[in-house]
């Protein structure tokens, strides 16, 4: 199973920073499609917990907890021009890593923008300073100060990452079905113009994880189908969303960042304490968490239309994540303990017995009402397609590999975001690992089924207002 075109080769070595669930998940894809033999790989992880696995696979392994003081001494000698650093770690500054790769002439890719430890919860910082908006603006400022040079792909996993390519394909599908001419889409602004002409008012990154195990979750344990540390960290960041120009009800707990592109707002509460209504084809209506994610900010920014110095169009964009059942129980217990961290953490993979991860974009407010487009991948498909994977990890691994292929084909692009990549090339590389990739229309709205049930604070005249999506 491979993309139809010939994939590029890596001229140097691959440094895989982090060897947790995603690092283990992406390895077989890279070896299968990029021809990476073990002697051209190096794994660097914070602890020796996965060293035995790396040894069984014949991979050179170094256990080293990186800090602001030892990052350059530890890694600079392991990076040369033509090498590729794939950052799948937590608690290591993405900004410092991409600066090091730039200086060493090495390519770089990560799946989210990470700060050093404490960056998410340092009480000396404001909520805005602890947000994904702040991390993104710092990275973009670095990119403007260092134009060109070796390619550094920021936030290219499943979401953020692959979801931006799915969004562009969804816009094309919708335009085709509405018989709307798309015009020349070679420029980034053309996608924003197309979304505006289609009448897209709201975009959810709508994900419903139904994977389950036969094991009962013990108390004081956080279980999830991907990095527990990563999920806990982003879940305690303030909820963030791209704020649409059609919105007419300002939330009482919303704040503007006041800098950068100003496409996003944040709420005075964490994402894991903020729920929204959303919809996917397999599961139907559900309540998801409004977790801050890079794509909520970058997509809102890239889909903004400016005229005469002001924004005249922008959809509301945010994540609506319903994690697996064991993660839901973990969140409930964690919140009930006043967010005191649990003693044990567990990533679910081999013990999963059934279920799927349904991940896509939900476009709303256009002439067809609601349109979901994305990946429906069940656990058994994932196991068949690649070893060491669940449905969740394989969607991320597919996005990572697709981003690496783009970087190898464009090695001197400087700092880029997922929206800067060729969406059709990304989907071509990733599609074999995404299960069913489908588009489904629906007449669902966040108020249709509950309009007459309760006397809620909703806007019945416009179902696409954020007030109607938010769960009070």
Mean pLDDT confidence for 91-100: 96
Q: For residue 212, say if its preceding peptide bond is cis, omega within 30 degrees of 0.
A: no
Confidence category of residue 451, pLDDT binned at 50, 70, 90: low
Question: Is residue 326 within 8 Å of residue 353, measured between CB atoms?
Answer: no
Q: Which of 85-94, 178-187, 243-252, 442-451 has the lowest mean pLDDT?
A: 442-451
pLDDT digits (tens, 9 = 90+) for 332-386: 999 999 999 999 999 999 999 999 999 999 999 999 999 999 999 999 999 999 9
The vertex-162 CA angle with 170 and 413, nearest 5°, equals 110
Distance, CA of 329 to CA of 214 (rounded, Å)? 15
pLDDT at 457: 77
Q: What are the structure tokens assigned to 336, written together?
A: 């009930």
Burial call 119-132: b when 16+ CB within 10 Å, e when fewer: bbeeeeeebbebbb
Mean pLDDT confidence for 72-82: 96
pLDDT digits (tens, 9 = 90+) for 402-413: 999 999 999 999
pLDDT at 456: 67
**H or E segment at 417?**
none
Distance, CA of 263 to CA of 242 (rounded, Å)? 6
pLDDT at 448: 83
Q: For residue 160, say if its preceding peptide bond is cis, omega within 30 degrees of 0.
A: yes
Distance, CA of 440 to CA of 422 (rounded, Å)? 24
Confidence category of residue 262, pLDDT binned at 50, 70, 90: confident
pTM: 0.96
Question: Is residue 322 within 8 Å of residue 272, measured between CB atoms?
Answer: no
CA-nearest of 11, 228, 238, 220 to 126 is 238
pLDDT at 460: 86
Distance, CA of 297 to CA of 318 (rounded, Å)? 8
pLDDT at 6: 78
Distance, CA of 267 to CA of 256 (rounded, Å)? 9
> Average pLDDT, whole number, for the chain?
94
| Residue with the two structure tokens 């069913």 | 436
Q: Which of 51-55, 94-98, 287-291, 413-417 has the lowest mean pLDDT?
A: 51-55
pLDDT digits (tens, 9 = 90+) for 27-39: 999 999 988 888 8
| Residue with the two structure tokens 């020349």 | 184
pLDDT digits (tens, 9 = 90+) for 204-247: 999 999 999 998 899 999 999 999 999 999 999 999 999 999 99
| Strand pairing category for 305-307 and 310-313 | antiparallel
Distance, CA of 273 to CA of 239 (rounded, Å)? 9
Return the C-alpha torsion angle 205, 206, 208, 209, nearest 10. Answer: -10
Whether residue 312 is predicted with pLDDT greater than 90 in this model: the reply is yes
Alpha-helical runs (H) found in 236-324: 294-302
pLDDT digits (tens, 9 = 90+) for 130-168: 899 999 999 999 999 999 999 999 999 999 999 999 999
98, burial (CB in 10 Å: exposed 0-12, middle 13-18, buried 19+) = buried
**H or E segment at 45?**
strand 41-45
Whether residue 469 is predicted with pLDDT greater than 70 in this model: the reply is yes
Integer-rounded Cα Rg, in Å, for the chain is: 21
Residue-range domains of the chain with CATH: 14-153 (3.40.50.720), 162-391+429-469 (3.30.360.30)
Distance, CA of 367 to CA of 239 (rounded, Å)? 29
The vertex-365 CA angle with 270 and 320, nearest 5°, equals 25
Q: What are the structure tokens assigned to 34, written together?
A: 């990029």
pLDDT at 222: 97
pLDDT at 4: 64
Distance, CA of 353 to CA of 397 (rounded, Å)? 21
Whether residue 115 is predicted with pLDDT greater than 90 in this model: the reply is yes
pLDDT at 114: 94
Mean pLDDT confidence for 423-445: 97
């Amino acid at each position: 199973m491979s993309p139809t075109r010939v994939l590029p080769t890596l001229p140097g070595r691959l440094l895989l920073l982090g060897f947790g669930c995603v690092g283990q998940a992406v390895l077989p894809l890279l070896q299968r499609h990029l021809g990476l033999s073990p002697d051209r790989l190096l794994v660097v992880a914070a602890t020796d917990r996965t060293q035995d696995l790396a040894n069984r696979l014949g991979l050179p392994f170094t256990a080293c907890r990186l800090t602001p003081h030892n990052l350059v001494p530890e890694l600079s000698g392991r990076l040369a021009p033509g090498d590729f650093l794939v950052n799948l770690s937590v608690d290591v500054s993405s900004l410092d890593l991409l600066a090091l790769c730039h200086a060493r002439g090495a390519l770089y890719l990560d799946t989210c923008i990470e700060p050093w430890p404490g960056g998410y919860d340092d009480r000396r910082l404001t909520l805005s300073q602890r947000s994904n908006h702040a991390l993104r603006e710092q990275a973009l400022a670095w990119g403007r100060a260092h134009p060109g040079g070796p390619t550094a792909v920021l936030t290219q996993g499943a979401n953020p990452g692959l979801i931006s390519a799915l969004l562009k394909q969804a816009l094309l599908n919708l335009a085709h079905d509405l018989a709307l001419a798309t015009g020349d889409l070679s420029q980034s602004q053309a996608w924003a113009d197309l979304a505006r002409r289609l009448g897209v008012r709201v975009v959810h990154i709508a994900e419903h994880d139904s994977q389950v195990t036969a094991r009962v979750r013990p108390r004081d344990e956080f279980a999830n189908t991907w990095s527990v540390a990563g999920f806990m960290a982003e879940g305690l960041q303030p909820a963030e969303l791209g704020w649409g120009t059609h919105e007419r009800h300002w939330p009482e707990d919303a704040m503007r960042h006041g800098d950068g592109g100003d496409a996003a707002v944040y709420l005075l509460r964490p994402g894991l304490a903020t729920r929204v209504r959303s919809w996917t084809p397999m599961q139907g209506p559900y309540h998801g968490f409004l977790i801050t994610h890079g794509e909520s900010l970058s997509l809102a920014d890239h889909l903004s239309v400016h005229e005469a110095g002001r924004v005249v169009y922008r959809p509301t964009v945010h994540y609506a994540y319903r994690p697996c059942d064991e993660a839901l129980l973990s969140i409930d217990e964690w919140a009930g303990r006043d967010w005191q961290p649990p003693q044990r953490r567990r990533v679910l993979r081999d013990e999963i017995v059934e279920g799927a991860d349904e991940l896509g974009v939900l476009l709303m407010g256009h002439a067809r009402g609601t349109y979901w487009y994305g990946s429906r991948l069940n656990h058994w498909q994932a196991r068949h397609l690649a070893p060491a994977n669940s449905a969740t990890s394989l969607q991320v691994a597919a996005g990572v590999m697709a981003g690496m292929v783009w970087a190898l084909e464009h090695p001197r692009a400087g700092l880029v975001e997922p929206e800067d990549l060729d969406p059709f090339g990304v989907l071509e590389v990733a599609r074999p690992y995404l299960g069913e990739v489908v588009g489904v229309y629906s007449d669902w709205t966040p108020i249709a089924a509950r309009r007459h049930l309760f006397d809620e604070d909703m806007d019945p005249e416009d179902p696409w207002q954020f007030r109607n999506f938010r769960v009070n």
